Amino acid sequence: MSQSTSDLELLLAGLRGDDKEEGGLSEILAALILKKNRENTFRFLITPYAERVVLLPQCLRSTTACQAEERDGEYICKGCGACKIAEITRRANELGYLGTRVLKGGSAIPRLIKETQAKAVLGIACPIEGALGIMVCEHAGVPVFCVPLLRAGCADTDVDLDDVRSALEAMAS
Amino acid sequence: MNDRFFLCYFETTRRCNLQCPYCMTRTDHPSPGGELSTDEAKTLVLDELAKVSSNVAVAFSGGEHLLRADAYELLAYAARLGMWSFINTNGKLLVETDAVRKAVQATDGRLVFVLPINALDPQTNQASRDDGPATVLEAADICLKQGAPYFFLVTISKQNLAGLEQTIRFLRLTGVPMLRAPFVPRGAGQKFRHLSFDATDMRDIIHPALTANPLAYISFTPFFASPQAMEEQWRRYDVQIEGLGCQAGRSFAAVGAEGHIVPCVQLLDSGCTNANVRHQPLSEVITASPLFTALRERTQLKGKCGNCRYTQTCGGCRALAYYHSGDILGEDPTCFFQPDGPGTRSDLEQEQTEQTDRFLRFLKCGEPWKSVF
């Protein structure tokens, strides 16, 4: 991919599964996420914790043990600890984040940004949802930093807590 | 010509617009003779480097190179000689002036900015740098918007060890390469000798953090890639640098503001050589001086560095050896490997051989690294 390739072209190529020899969809979308992370690093890191929100995918939940309540396109975490959401929420709260929200799908993002008045988003997502979520946040004028899931799929996914912690805690000023 | 000689650090000035606590260039007693003039920089350094290798790059550093009145003239001169330029800058002038555009124009795009960041939390970063991380991150943002390549330089000391793994992890999530530099007690750093990391820090914190990052320039030591596998990798990828591990005197040399020549930038002002571009041709010192020859051949390394399977592919950090024992050929005090002899393999050999492969593929898969290396 040349450096001039537009984000939309990258995304479409990823969705079509182009460049199979380079790994196909996942790798192209992962490259798009790295690119957007680079572009958003400065704005994300100069935003105080108190103006950042964490958006988590519902697929991180434990399908067998989750006690979260579903409400208005979100899951309200009860902190049972059966998945990593409780730990991420705990650390975000300690740092003073605006909040941690567990989304049923990306369509809730514009409403959440408006509702929380977030100035920056830390998103945790699979390559496809991450790429789409980044576009939605950018459309709303909010920089987003994305930590990709370790294991995608639509249920019982996983994320590296150390990666999340590094992004949660990073601060430039 | 030795086309595997790859990089000369050129500290063109000691002047700086920051006062970092342990800046290795700042000294109360600069060498006599004054800074190299524009003509000296061109003829005694850049022209001489062109005689050493057709593949050489120059890392313009300081102090703050961009404070020199002839900063862009020297960049343009290097570019006319076909050289790539690295600009090691604290980033302030990139944020406050039109420096990125001017540097890109002067080098015709043959440049890479090197931006220092020691931690991604303001307090830790400012304990070692006279600035928060925001300036450098904004400078990176400007480079990105103007299409100028850049990477981050993390100087490692005991002061930023606690957050090192986390800093490297965050940088990896951006896909921006990073290079590590060891803190050495040079310049203002002489008063901070206690911040030098040791073999335990290296084993428990630094080595695992660097090894885990596929985008780190893996010239760090100790380095345990298989010598046989590396020979094969070098043929397969047609790499232009001499090797990995310590490159002091092999692929690297350094010239100070007043013209001193040493095998590695960490060794400027250390007194390890008396060579000076004003008295001896730089090309001769690099290609024929006994010290550079010994560092290239590595047959005289002492202690465990001279009795190790990885003598040629790692060699131990020559700067850390010198600051520890006063002997540039001595053993690296930060190495945690205890070989019985050249037959002993490190448990990390396979992992670091694979890391070498990933790194070489990264270098060869996109610009500017493909052209630089």
Q: Which amino acid, B314?
A: C
Chain segment A143-170, per-residue pLDDT in tens: 999 999 998 788 889 999 999 999 999 9
pLDDT bin (cut points 50, 70, 90) of residue A27 is confident
Decide if A42 and B167 are in contact by the 8 Å CB cutoff. Answer: no
Percent of chain B with pLDDT over 90: 81
Decide if A163 and B169 are in contact by the 8 Å CB cutoff. Answer: yes
Eight-class DSSP state of A68: P
B208–A contact, CB cutoff 8 A: no
A71–B contact, CB cutoff 8 A: no
Question: Which residues of A fall within a CB distance of 8 Å from B165?
Answer: 162
Instruction: Give the containing element (helix H, strand E) for A116.
Output: helix A109-116
- Return the structure tokens found at A45: 């890191």
* Distances from the Cα of A32 to the Cα of A68, A105, B147, B186, angstroms: 32, 20, 16, 41
Chain segment B237-288, per-residue pLDDT in tens: 888 777 889 999 999 999 999 999 999 999 999 999 999 999 999 999 999 9
Chain segment B287-343, per-residue pLDDT in tens: 999 999 999 999 999 999 999 999 999 999 999 999 999 999 999 999 999 999 999
Q: How far apart are CA B59 and CA B41, in angstroms?
A: 13
Average confidence score pLDDT of chain A? 88
Decide if A166 and B132 are in contact by the 8 Å CB cutoff. Answer: no
At residue B2, the pLDDT reads 75
Mean pLDDT of A35-40: 96
CB B92 within 8 A of CB B65: no
Mean pLDDT of A76-99: 96
Percent of chain B with pLDDT over 70: 99
Instruction: Give the containing element (helix H, strand E) for A87.
Output: helix A85-95
If one compares A14 and B45, the residue with the highest pLDDT of the two is B45
- Return the structure tokens found at B262: 């040493």
Chain segment B26-53, per-residue pLDDT in tens: 988 777 789 999 999 999 999 999 999 9
Mean pLDDT of B88-107: 98
Q: How far apart are CA B335 and CA B345, in angstroms?
A: 14
Question: Which residues of A fall within a CB distance of 8 Å from B121?
Answer: 169-171
If one compares A21 and B165, the residue with the highest pLDDT of the two is B165
CB B348 within 8 A of CB B33: no
Question: Which residues of B fall within a CB distance of 8 Å from A31?
Answer: 175
On the question of a cis peptide bond just before residue B368, with omega within 30 degrees of 0, the verdict is: yes
Please tell me which of the candidates A3, A39, A170 has its beta carbon nearest to residue B170: A170
Decide if B167 and A166 are in contact by the 8 Å CB cutoff. Answer: yes
Would you say residue A39 has pLDDT above 70? yes
pLDDT bin (cut points 50, 70, 90) of residue A18 is low
Please tell me which of the candidates A34, A145, A167 has its beta carbon nearest to residue B175: A34
A22–B contact, CB cutoff 8 A: no
At residue A9, the pLDDT reads 66
CATH code at A76? 3.40.50
Handedness of CA B183, B267, B287, B259 (dihedral sign): positive
pTM above 0.90, yes or no: yes
At residue A3, the pLDDT reads 41
Residue A100: beta bridge partners? A54
At residue A14, the pLDDT reads 57
- CA B308, B208, A81 angle in degrees (round to 5)? 155
Decide if B170 and A172 are in contact by the 8 Å CB cutoff. Answer: no
Number of domains in chain A: 1
- Our measurement of the distance from residue A129's CA atom to the centroid of its chain's CA atoms, rounded to an integer in Å, reads 8
At residue A51, the pLDDT reads 98
At residue A4, the pLDDT reads 44
Q: Which of B95, B123, B137, B143 to mutate to test the interface with A (most CBs of A within 10 A)?
A: B137
* Distances from the Cα of A83 to the Cα of A99, A167, B152, B251, B259, angstroms: 18, 19, 34, 49, 60
Would you say residue B344 has pLDDT above 80? yes
At residue B371, the pLDDT reads 80
Q: How far apart are CA A12 and CA A156, in angstroms?
A: 27
Map tokens 């024929």 to a residue.
Answer: B288
Chain segment B161-203, per-residue pLDDT in tens: 999 999 999 999 998 989 999 999 999 999 999 999 999 999 9
pLDDT bin (cut points 50, 70, 90) of residue A1 is very low
Would you say residue A21 has pLDDT above 70? no
Q: Which residue range forms the structural domain that includes residue A58? A: 2-169
B121–A contact, CB cutoff 8 A: yes
